[in-house]
Structure 1
């Protein structure tokens, strides 16, 4: 037989057929050589299947760990219901992620090093991002080293900053986390007003503990970019501002920026640099103005 008379033919059904057969064997406790015990519930399984899907189990069954040859292995750190979901994934390639189980499922997937489940959980959480939960999801992702999800939540919080700061997750942040968010150039806001208001509302939520943090946080509010009317009518009348010399110095800087245009070139710095959203808004205003001129000339 010549080379042209033979061919290697791949089928799509073979792997799925094997998985289905192994799952049937597991369900009937046939040829199972290990039992996983979680919360006093037993889960029969096959060492080779577990080791093939999980680096955690591969290390357990191929190294000199005490569990290597044990017929029954206790698994700590997850619930029996979560173990059932994870085993179903190992044998079926399918995982059912819900709002109710994702917070248990993701840490368990990380513990047992089941990358497919971890990825499914991250994709699910990314689809659930909302102004009310994005900061919590970002922290959850960081805790479990889910880099892509953490970045997606970070970008979401920046893009929806005015809505995000209206929710409890923002109010409950510590000073360092608030500072990290408000100093970011990528915050998308039409003006600096929601940034100033977010800081004031955060301080007012716990006045005694947070009042001392106001001057430090206020330096990241780009007050020179606010309108003179907002500075005089809103900021000047805020009691927290009037009671702090450091805060009043920052307000005076903003007033000087407006009152002395000839000094603006010397005052350039982080507080006079427009954020992403402000830059986009200026660009849109410029485009609209140009379009109006063109239409007038036609």
Structure 2
């Protein structure tokens, strides 16, 4: 990829340079000479002003420039004369070092911007290390955050094998290191050591205590950790482990994302309660929310760092209002309202827009749908569904919105359909195996899951999944308890269901489903029993610590 940026137009000076007219200096790099005008280079950077005026005789004509290649000097001179520079993956690092050497702020900024855009598991360590030479705190922090947030992918790349032990230690000791399983950290250490075993085996003594060993599965611990040849050859495990403070071994790392359970119906009233679930500690935290308006039967969506609360009901009014909550500042803002009042609304995100589909306006069930663009703060109506649907649920898979079940005013529905934003049309698909109102629908893997709900007679435990490739539904394992009007989300490839109504009362139960094992397990109980809530998974928060149980206060900060 190539990035060009132009900031000025010195076309006349550049023509004179290219023809060699009125040039009064020669920049020599290795065996290559560049005819230049001193005044142009002095205008570009104070480095050349000092070189021509203070560091050499005024009559000097030829200037040897060290530590830069001819190709890079050509780019620097092109920028000095044209205000533009062509940055590529191949030249960005050398160009940045040269721009830093010559103190050309604009080229430095362009290079940093390019690196931020191109950052990936294969190059993030190199970018982080480069900021040791060219100090730029923002890029350094971003690169380090990228490493910790994508550690499992980074640890499989070639750059990771070249990292010094001090930098590896800096990375793996952080609470903010994101890994699904702590065993990934141990395996990364062993891979790094085995790359140069004779030089690196001794470092296991310093590196292994940085692994949260108490968080490692016991079977893995017994079969992989203490039986590892590297471990056995280089340390007395029992002696080493006794020297490590237990809080370090048992302290969970920070999660990549958190699941929020928001609003709903509790103890006969709507609530504005927000609870945050931390998958690392398997615990919930109550989130202060004094300003949030109580609402139930609403939808939520996380987009561009904000949580949107859409439609719903407060016991008296049916809402078309939309509120935006900033989880970083804990502040609320009203945004543009929908065209229709929507209680029992289905909400999802597609292509950077929020879709609100179906629902109940206080008088009739709806088949209408509309979407919200945050950039314009506007709602736009789309084609109506084939069915009237309130109390349905929807999700996004492969650039299509799937909506399933619901209630049409006469009965619970087993029908399902999808919306294609390219054709702007709804298409009916095979119906589910049973009627489901108050259903939870979510995409996981390459399938759409429809879970629980109400069939007109009973609250359901059953679940099924839809395969778009075959247009078929298949039953999967049933939940532990029946529930309708619950929250549903996917986090770390596990399907979570939260709260709901079990046929007799609201529940605080949370379960998770593993599609690999086709098994449901009880997770925990929330503090608040509620139904008609909505769930949302949020990520990338700079204040993630606000939403999780406290870690050890001695823990290091997220950046280094």
Instruction: Give the Cα–Cα distance (whole angstroms) in 1 for the partners of residues 162 and 118 of structure 2.
Output: 21
Q: Does structure 2 conserve the Cα–Cα contact (< 8 Å) formed by 1:61 and 1:69? A: no
Q: Does structure 1 conserve the Cα–Cα contact (< 8 Å) formed by 2:201 and 2:234? A: no
Cα offset, 1:200, TM superposition: 2.1
Aligned to 1:146: 136
> What is the CA RMSD across the aligned residues, in angstroms?
2.9
Cα offset, 1:252, TM superposition: 7.9
Paired residue secondary structure (1:276): coil
Instruction: Give the Cα–Cα distance (whole angstroms) in 2 for the partners of residues 125 and 16 of structure 1.
Output: 23
Instruction: Give the Cα–Cα distance (whole angstroms) in 2 for the partners of residues 230 and 90 of structure 1.
Output: 59
Aligned to 2:120: 130
Cα distance 1:140–1:210, how it changes in 2: closer, same or farther (>3 A)?
Answer: same
Deviations 1:114-150 (A, max 9, x none): 2212222222222222212211221123222233322
Counterparts of residues 79-94 of structure 1 (less than 5 Å): 79-94=69-84
Pick from 172, 181, 187 the counterpart of residue 182 of structure 1: 172
Deviations 1:4-29 (A, max 9, x none): xxxxxxxxxxx955x22222232233
Counterparts of residues 24-35 of structure 1 (less than 5 Å): 24-35=15-26
Instruction: Give the Cα–Cα distance (whole angstroms) in 2 for the partners of residues 276 and 293 of structure 1.
Output: 24
- 1:223 maps onto 2:218 in alignment: no
Cα offset, 1:227, TM superposition: 2.5
Aligned to 2:92: 102
Cα distance 1:105–1:251, how it changes in 2: closer, same or farther (>3 A)?
Answer: same
TM-score by length of 2: 0.44
Deviations 1:78-131 (A, max 9, x none): 222222211110111110011222232222212222221222222222222221
Pick from 179, 185, 199 the counterpart of residue 195 of structure 1: 185
Cα distance 1:242–1:62, how it changes in 2: closer, same or farther (>3 A)?
Answer: closer
Deviations 1:53-99 (A, max 9, x none): 11111112332x22433123222222222222111101111100112
Instruction: Give the Cα–Cα distance (whole angstroms) in 1 for the partners of residues 160 and 65 of structure 2.
Output: 36
Counterparts of residues 1-298 of structure 1 (less than 5 Å): 16=8, 19-63=10-54, 65-243=55-233, 246-249=236-239, 269-277=247-255, 280=258, 283=278, 291-294=497-500, 296=502, 297=506
Cα distance 1:62–1:220, how it changes in 2: closer, same or farther (>3 A)?
Answer: same
Instruction: Give the Cα–Cα distance (whole angstroms) in 1 for the partners of residues 201 and 33 of structure 2.
Output: 55
Cα distance 1:123–1:29, how it changes in 2: closer, same or farther (>3 A)?
Answer: same
Greater alpha carbon shift after TM alignment, 173-182 vs 287-296 = 287-296
Instruction: Give the Cα–Cα distance (whole angstroms) in 2 for the partners of residues 116 and 158 of structure 1.
Output: 29
Q: Does structure 2 conserve the Cα–Cα contact (< 8 Å) formed by 1:222 and 1:270? A: yes
Bigger relative contact order, structure 1 or 2 (CA pairs below 8 A, ≥6 apart): 1
Greater alpha carbon shift after TM alignment, 287-296 vs 195-204 = 287-296
TM-score by length of 1: 0.78
Instruction: Give the Cα–Cα distance (whole angstroms) in 2 for the partners of residues 151 and 30 of structure 1.
Output: 46
Cα offset, 1:271, TM superposition: 2.2
Greater alpha carbon shift after TM alignment, 157-166 vs 225-234 = 225-234
Greater alpha carbon shift after TM alignment, 109-118 vs 159-168 = 109-118
Cα distance 1:120–1:294, how it changes in 2: closer, same or farther (>3 A)?
Answer: same
Greater alpha carbon shift after TM alignment, 96-105 vs 239-248 = 239-248
Q: Select the structure that is richer in helix.
A: 1
Instruction: Give the Cα–Cα distance (whole angstroms) in 2 for the partners of residues 26 and 294 of structure 1.
Output: 74
Greater alpha carbon shift after TM alignment, 194-203 vs 225-234 = 225-234
Paired residue secondary structure (2:63): strand
Greater alpha carbon shift after TM alignment, 237-246 vs 111-120 = 237-246
Deviations 1:191-248 (A, max 9, x none): 2111111122222333333222212211110111223232233324333344565323
Q: Does structure 2 conserve the Cα–Cα contact (< 8 Å) formed by 1:223 and 1:251? A: no
Q: Does structure 2 conserve the Cα–Cα contact (< 8 Å) formed by 1:32 and 1:44? A: yes
Q: Any stretches of 5+ residues in structure 2 without a counterpart?
A: 1-6, 260-276, 285-486, 489-494, 507-530, 532-560
Aligned to 2:479: none
Greater alpha carbon shift after TM alignment, 234-243 vs 150-159 = 234-243
Q: Does structure 2 conserve the Cα–Cα contact (< 8 Å) formed by 1:85 and 1:95? A: yes
Instruction: Give the Cα–Cα distance (whole angstroms) in 1 for the partners of residues 255 and 227 of structure 2.
Output: 27
Q: Does structure 2 conserve the Cα–Cα contact (< 8 Å) formed by 1:188 and 1:277? A: yes
Q: Does structure 2 conserve the Cα–Cα contact (< 8 Å) formed by 1:34 and 1:71? A: yes
Q: Does structure 2 conserve the Cα–Cα contact (< 8 Å) formed by 1:224 and 1:253? A: no
Cα distance 1:16–1:280, how it changes in 2: closer, same or farther (>3 A)?
Answer: closer
Q: Does structure 2 conserve the Cα–Cα contact (< 8 Å) formed by 1:231 and 1:251? A: no
Cα distance 1:41–1:194, how it changes in 2: closer, same or farther (>3 A)?
Answer: same
Instruction: Give the Cα–Cα distance (whole angstroms) in 2 for the partners of residues 67 and 272 of structure 1.
Output: 66
